């Protein structure tokens, strides 16, 4: 599914990475635990998270996850956005809960990493 469609389904704002919205992505991982994110194998999934700190972006940089959906109305800081832009990431802000956002993406046919 195109990232632009995912953003629309989640009623999400695109914080950065507008130029990548035509890319297709089908795998999603959701977690607030960055230690868990760092154990993932290299499948380049979208991450859905309510953890909105500098370490979220750093963890994604190290784990090769470059599409981040922040749920629960979390808003990244300018420093986080700058780091994300340096790493060519897509950041989306979504007002939905983690459960609702994941439910919408699952219903739309996106796949779990395992």
The DSSP secondary-structure symbol of 39 reads T
Residue 62 found at the interface with other proteins (CB under 8 A): yes
**What are the φ/ψ torsions at residue 45 (nearest 5 degrees)?**
-85, 170
Nearest distance, CB of residue 79 and other proteins, angstroms = 7
Applying CB under 8 A, which of residues 5, 33, 75, 111 lies at the interface with other proteins? 33
Residue identified by tokens 């760092």 is 38
C-beta closer to other proteins: residue 5 or 79 = 79
The continuous run of DSSP H or E covering 9 comes out as: helix 3-9
Nearest distance, CB of residue 66 and other proteins, angstroms = 13
The DSSP secondary-structure symbol of 96 reads S
Candidates 11-19, 56-64, 97-105, 106-114; binding stretch for other proteins (CB under 8 A): 56-64
């Amino acid at each position: 599914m195109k990232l632009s469609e995912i953003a629309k389904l989640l009623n999400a704002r695109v914080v950065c990475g507008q130029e990548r919205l035509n890319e297709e992505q089908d795998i999603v991982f959701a977690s607030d635990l960055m230690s868990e994110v760092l154990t993932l194998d290299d499948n380049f999934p979208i991450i859905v998270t309510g953890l909105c700190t500098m370490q979220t972006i750093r963890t994604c940089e190290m784990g090769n996850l470059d599409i981040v959906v922040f749920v629960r109305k979390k808003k990244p800081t300018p420093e986080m956005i700058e780091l994300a832009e340096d790493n060519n990431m897509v950041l989306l802000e979504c007002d939905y809960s983690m459960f609702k956002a994941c439910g919408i993406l699952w219903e739309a046919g996106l796949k779990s990493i395992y």
